[in-house]
Amino acid sequence: MKEKLRRLDPWRLELPAGSRPGMSVPAVVYADAEIERTLDDRTLLQAANAASLPGIRRAALVMPDGHAGYGFPIGGVAAFGLSDGVVSPGGVGYDINCGVRLLATAVPAGRILRGRDAVAAALFAAVPAGVGSEGSIRLSKSDEKAVAEKGARWAVERGLGEAGDLERCESGGRLDGAEYGALGRRALERGRGQLGTLGSGNHFVEIQEVAEIFDPAAAAAFGLEKGLAAVMLHSGSRGLGHQVCADSLDEMLAAARRYGIALPDRELACAPCSSPEAERYLAAMRAAANYAWANRQALGWAAGKALAAALELSPRELGLRLVYDVAHNIAKIEEHAAPGGRAGKVMVHRKGATRAFPPGHPEVPAEYRSAGQPVLIPGDMGRASYVLAGTGALGETFGSVCHGAGRLLSRGEASRRAHGRDIVRELAGNGVSVMAAARGTLGEEMPEAYKDAGQVVRVVAGAGLAKIVARLRPLCVVKG
């Protein structure tokens, strides 16, 4: 597929419509020359397959952190008409509403540096992490229903945050249309003890320093100040969301056959947006998304308490404040301009992609509306993360940008290359203290396994989709 790519400008590549039989729209890949060299045929094939689905609008999009996933590429965005388009679990992914939360503090980063090993140990003790990890929060059946329907609000009502936090969450930390009854027995069993936990792989809690400010006005609006510490965490809907995806695939595959949808890949199992099968999946997906928001709300609260205790600070001295919380793996009905300028509702799938609405958009919190929506881009555990603000993505990418650095190496290949190395010592040499729940995680997640997030956000900024606000460097990291 790479030989069919054509370069549109320094930041964009296009796989024209018809490059593969069935492609009704092009696939657009956001990549400079350096990132173009990392593209593989499987990622491009998945983008071409997405461009073949019924009712797709504009183009299938691949962000600069894109790589092959299940069905859609990770870093993929696609929108479908509600009357003629489809919903595909492969366009959302297994970890429904995997996302990132950033909290600012009033603590100078130097205070963390002087005791970063102790801070990492305190976080590791306070935040359950790893495959199958369970926390101290136990959900009754009434709690399960409330979490599924209320999302982050449930956690705030339980004292795990402030009411103002909800205004600084994408969609207010809750999707309408979630149905507790749409969750299967196994999904509920898996989620019952996992609220307030990290999970494994690339999920983390990280203490960072606001190392550089690029846009002082936006940084001030977001409450970010150079030299102060911040808390970033990355987690999702855990086993509950994974099971929702798994439960839906067979039904969606049968639905595609029943509705006469020719699938270029069975991993793109789907159903028409208005079908009962799509409605059942969306009701369960929204419930899983709400669980993820409640999970990150609880995680942020626990991390803040652990940080205050490790530094022997009062909550007031710590000054913890939510900056924003963004979703990655999600499908949402949104209103976007169609060709000719008329606005219409579409089903936007973002899989490993972040919403990035511009200044003035009504869904951007009022306090941020002059700057644009905060966009949180985590790096790998040894290199910088970034805060961006949405600018010009609305008319081109349905208000979407990248979600992270993006993998370069498979987990198996990263582990092979890490064999015999002391990743903890290497990171410590770069000023980063790290603890992980599983021995193999650090090899799988070593910095070389990922693209450089700095390069990824430069492409996004160069393409005019978002502006870079701040660079955050890691100080101590807890991994699953």
What's residue 105's pLDDT? 98
pLDDT (tens digit per residue) in 153-180: 999 999 999 999 999 999 999 999 999 9
Closest CA to 169 of 61, 349, 318, 296: 296
What's the rounded Cα separation, in Å, for the pair 89 and 84?
Answer: 17
DSSP letters for 435-458? EESSTTHHHHT-GGGB--HHHHHH
Cβ–Cβ under 8 Å, residues 69 and 28: no
What's residue 439's pLDDT? 76
Residue found under tokens 């996004």: 460
pLDDT (tens digit per residue) in 453-476: 999 999 999 999 999 999 999 999
Cβ–Cβ under 8 Å, residues 209 and 225: no
Residues 6+ apart with CB under 8 A from 114: none
pLDDT (tens digit per residue) in 210-256: 999 999 999 999 999 999 999 999 999 999 999 999 999 999 999 99
Residue 14 has pLDDT above 70, yes or no: yes
pLDDT (tens digit per residue) in 426-451: 999 999 999 998 878 899 999 999 99
What's the rounded Cα separation, in Å, for the pair 442 and 434?
Answer: 9
Neighbours of 257 (CB within 10 A): 11
Cβ–Cβ under 8 Å, residues 299 and 233: yes
What's the rounded Cα separation, in Å, for the pair 1 and 5?
Answer: 7
What's the rounded Cα separation, in Å, for the pair 374 and 415?
Answer: 34
Distances (CA, A) of 33 to 4, 37, 311: 16, 7, 45
What positions carry a catalytic annotation?
403
> What 3-state DSSP class applies to 307?
helix
What's the rounded Cα separation, in Å, for the pair 303 and 125?
Answer: 10
Closest CA to 148 of 79, 237, 76, 222: 237
Higher pLDDT, 5 or 137: 5
Max CA pair span of the chain: 63
Confidence of residue 341 (pLDDT cuts 50, 70, 90): low
Residue found under tokens 């899983």: 288
Confidence of residue 339 (pLDDT cuts 50, 70, 90): low
Residues 6+ apart with CB under 8 A from 86: 53, 54, 55, 80, 261, 270, 271, 272, 273, 278, 347
> pTM value?
0.96
Q: How many Cα atoms occupy the beta-carbon half-sphere of 89 within 13 Å?
A: 32
Distances (CA, A) of 401 to 29, 76, 240: 11, 9, 26
- What are residue 12's DSSP bridge partners? 9, 30
